[in-house]
A and B are shown apart, each in its own frame.
Chain A
Amino acid sequence: LSKDLLPGPYRRTPEERAAAAKKYNMRVEDYQTYPDDGFGYGDYPKLPDKSLHERDPWYQWDQQDMRHNWGEPMHWDFDMYIRNRVDTSPTPVPWHIMRKHFLIFLSTMLIMFGLGGIYPTYRPVGPKQYPFNDLYLERGGDPNKDPPVVVHYEI
């Protein structure tokens, strides 16, 4: 590769930008760059952040698994946008509706679990029915008086 085919520094004049666009096999209108803020992007094109999932699966690409043709400029973060990683294809349901419905579901579940913990279900229980009038004499009742009838059940 000769020096003029390699990526270079940030291009300032329109002629340099046109030459860089031609170097990257792009049209001048499509050629956008990263801002020149010292992070080393240079004149590398800023391609739209679209993953390879969005490219046509049925078209006969030169590299079918990467869905990429020879000579096409690759995204700076191409390893993020391959088919095993991030998928940016449009979802059938808009993002904000998805997020809203999921959070409604999750919050409803958590609140109801909290309520279910405050009001649990259990088999009906009642106080224990002891014999001998609920142990009246054993609990220090007066043997001369009639014991009160205490019944903890219903028939």
Chain B
Amino acid sequence: MEITLLLNTSMLLTLTIILTPTLLPLLSKTYRNSPTTITRTVKAAFLTSLVPMSLFTYCNTESITSSWEWKFITNFKIPLSFKMDQYSMMFFPIALFVTWSILQFATWYMAMEPHITKFFSYLLMFLIAMLTLTIANNMFLLFIGWEGVGIMSFLLIGWWHGRAEANTAALQAVLYNRIGDIGLILNMAWLASTTNSWEIQLSHSPQTPILPLLGLILAATGKSAQFGLHPWLPAAMEGPTPVSALLHSSTMVVAGIFLLIRTHPILTTNQTALTTCLCLGALSTLFAAICALTQNDIKKIIAFSTSSQLGLMMVTIGLDLPQLAFLHISTHAFFKAMLFLCSGSIIHCLGGEQDIRKMGGLQKTLPTTTSCLTIGNLALMGTPFLAGFYSKDLIIENLNTSYVNTWALLLTLLATTFTATYSLRMTLLVQTGSTRIPTLTPMNENNPMASNPITRLATGSILAGLLISSIIPPTKTPPMTMPITTKTTAIIITILGIILALELSSMTHTLTQPKQGTYSNFSSTLGYFNPLTHRSSSTKLLNNGQQIAQNLIDSSWYKKMGPEGLADLQQTTAKITTTLHSGLIKTYLGSFALSILITALLTH
């Protein structure tokens, strides 16, 4: 009994610690937030959240707490209920650890920013919304967190709001997320009408209809940037690097996958929904990997890498393995956040240069950062026994030994190859080779506020996979026996990708390639998706809106339905009746005859 009390208390304490910087300035007259206080708050929350995690690990404690109910309608309960199960209790320390490192990094990265405290408050608001989403036991609280992270993403991507491209990117993010929200609200409506509650629960019926599940998948497509609603994620790189590291790699974009993990009991019942997830995830992972091959902006490469890994998580959901998807979320958070922080460090040291064609030879000048970049890339590729290996290799093994769509299998394997290729391309162009940076670039790694978070996350990238997979027992039997080729598929195709990258880089040194080709154009313009959809849909919508507002409303309602319409009607009737007032006897005789005929017919 007391263990559950300890669990609930420590979890609520974590949440309260996070809320403190928002409440203290309101209660005290002299207290002001500062970046340091917010960083320390998140660090304290991280240390506190280790208590529930260890309680779960060693005592298997889980709990669902319901307090205060919103008495809106008498027969529909919306309580404030928190679900503390393995997903939320494992996610809290990981999210808080990554956020603490990113906030510490941001105190160095955003040091020249005049509104730095507002920036940190926004990041804290985002964290609160994300943790609300994670711990929510009902769809209402989850929706609050969902919208919260969407809005904070908008505000943070458009942080430098004087820049028109940042505003466009923020608008893209919010609109694409909104399209996903249609699906989420559809699902909530179905849940409310069918089960009369918004609690996330086990399904009682053997078969859930496909429509609410498609709504959930649409929500995940929007939030987690699957193919179809993906353009906002590369565009979100307009925001500052700490924003990209926190939101668009570790935490916000996994919210869609997290939703699917949470609602997994109802998703399992419908095989069509699972196949949709599988195929969508496979397509997203390959498409993002293709686009990442020819990008030249370091942040865009990492963004597409994120998009590709999100597709892989969706594939895992489609394989009916939510726990493995969560494992991948956890390990991915570490090395992806570290990759973004390393890239931020490199960008700042080079004075704002983000193009990898203008970097090179940084291994000698930035040894720690580039070593951590290498570790991150190796973890991403699934190098044995680093963090990514424990999740990625298991996913590929499960994929190979399941009854799956063949094309989805092939696409995922191809995407794994390309992951190795573009990671190695980035590493080679950024770190090795001759240097292409301007000669007078003073760069250093002296500031501990920048290098400590990176090394901390590097330790996490190395150890997290082992730690997390050893403390959570699997709920489904993993495949134990398989031929050697199946077991080593992931490592073989990764090595093939590395060979491909090395071959291509040696080709660029010796042969000349044409500037444009069909496939390189397709890849570097992101599959032509952006211009095709953005230009055509927005032109049509805006033009039609103008036509409706100006022509339909103005001319039809104000003219045709009003004065001009009335005048036309009156004119028509007047024209008809004047023909009868002609003054000819024939007309009058005709009208007499007509009325006698009608009377005779009526009385007959």
Where the two chains meet, the residues of A that have a C-beta atom closer than 8 Å to any C-beta of B are 38-40, 65, 77, 80, 83-88, 91-93, 98-99, 101-102, 105, 109, 112-113, 115-117, 119-123
Interface residues of B in 398-436 (CB under 8 A from A): 400-410
Sample of 17 A–B contacts (CB below 8 Å): A38-B555, A39-B551, A83-B165, A85-B538, A87-B531, A88-B535, A92-B521, A98-B528, A98-B531, A101-B518, A101-B528, A105-B522, A116-B408, A117-B405, A119-B406, A121-B404, A122-B403
* A40 to B543 CA separation, bound complex (whole angstroms): 16
Excluding A65-B164, A80-B542, A86-B539, 6 further A-B contacts by CB distance (< 8 Å) are: A39-B555, A77-B543, A80-B538, A84-B171, A121-B409, A122-B402
CA distance A55 to B400 in the complex (A): 53
For residue B195, CB closer than 8 A to chain A, the reply is: no
CB distance from A7 to the nearest CB of B (A): 14
Distance in Å: Cβ of B408 to nearest Cβ of chain A: 6
Closest to B518 in A: A101
B32 interface contact, C-beta 8 A: no
Question: Is B404's CB under 8 angstroms from A120's CB?
Answer: yes
Assembled-state Cα–Cα distance A39/B521 (Å): 43
Tell me whether A40 and B554 are in contact (CB under 8 A).
yes
A117 and B275 contact, CB distance less than 8 A? yes
Tell me the bound Cα distance from A98 to B402 in angstroms: 37
B-side interface residues, number (CB < 8 Å): 41
Interface residues of B in 490-530 (CB under 8 A from A): 516, 518, 521-522, 525, 527-529
**Cβ A93 vs Cβ B525 within 8 A:** yes
Contact, CB under 8 Å: B532 / A120: no
By CB atoms of chain B within 10 A, which of A91, A109, A113 has the most? Answer: A113
Residues of B within 8 A of A40 (CB): 550, 554-555
Bound together, the chains give a CA A115 to CA B408 distance in angstroms of 11
A98 touches B542 (CB 8 A): no
A102 touching B407 in the complex, CB below 8 Å, given contacts A40-B550, A83-B164? no
Q: Chain A residue with minimal CB distance to B171?
A: A84
Distance A77 CA – B541 CA, assembled complex (angstroms)? 13
Contacts of B542 in A (CB 8 A): 77, 80, 85-86
The docked-state distance in angstroms from the alpha carbon of A123 to that of B402 is 7
Most buried by A among B283, B406, B521, B529: B406
CB-CB < 8 A to A102: which residues of B?
527-529, 532
User: Which residues of B sit under 8 angstroms from A65, Cβ to Cβ?
Assistant: 164
> In the complex, which residues of chain B have a beta carbon less than 8 angstroms from the beta carbon of A93?
521, 525, 528
What CA separation (Å) do A119 and B546 show in the bound complex? Answer: 50
B19 smallest CB distance to A (angstroms): 34
Q: Contact at A112–B407, with CB atoms within 8 Å? A: yes
Q: Which residues of chain B (253-308) have a CB below 8 Å from chain A?
A: 275, 279, 283
A123 adjacent to B401 (CB under 8 Å): yes
Chain B residues in contact with chain A, CB under 8 A?
A: 164-165, 167-168, 171, 275, 279, 283, 400-410, 482, 516, 518, 521-522, 525, 527-529, 531-532, 534-535, 538-539, 542-543, 546, 550-551, 554-555
**Assuming the A-B contacts A93-B521, A105-B527, A109-B283, are A84 and B167 also in contact, with contact meaning beta carbons closer than 8 angstroms in the complex?**
yes
CA distance A102 to B528 in the complex (A): 6
Instruction: Give chain B residues whose Cβ lies under 8 Å from the Cβ of A87.
Output: 531, 534-535
Taking CB atoms, residues of chain B closer than 8 Å to A38 are 555
The answer to whether A83 touches B538, judged by C-beta atoms less than 8 angstroms apart, is: no
A39-B551, A77-B546, A102-B527 known; A113+B279 contact, CB < 8 A: yes
Q: Complex: how many Å from CA A4 to CA B170? A: 42
A91 to chain B: which residues have CB within 8 Å?
A: 525, 531
Complex CA distance for A40 and B525, rounded to whole angstroms: 41
Q: Give CA–CA (A91, B525) in the complex, Å.
A: 10
CA distance A84 to B401 in the complex (A): 48
Of chain A, the residue at the smallest CB distance from B410 is: A116
CB of A120 within 8 A of CB of B531, answer no
Tell me the smallest distance from the CB of A56 to a CB of chain B, in Å: 15
Interchain nearest-CB distance for A125 vs B (Å): 10
In the complex, what distance in Å separates the CA atom of A102 from the CA atom of B275?
23
Chain B min CB distance to A143 (Å): 38
Q: How far is the CB of B362 from chain A (nearest CB, A)?
A: 30
Report yes or no: B546 in contact with A113, Cβ–Cβ below 8 A: no
The answer for the CA separation of A109 and B409 in the assembled complex, in Å, is: 13
A2 CA to B555 CA in the complex, in Å?
Answer: 27
Complexed CA–CA distance, A118 and B539 (Å) = 40
Judge whether B406 and A120 touch: CB under 8 Å: yes
- For B529, the chain A residues whose CB sits under 8 A away are 102
B-chain residues with CB within 8 Å of residue A119 when the two chains form the complex: 406
Chain A: CB-nearest residue to B164? A83
Contact B527 A84 (CB under 8 A): no
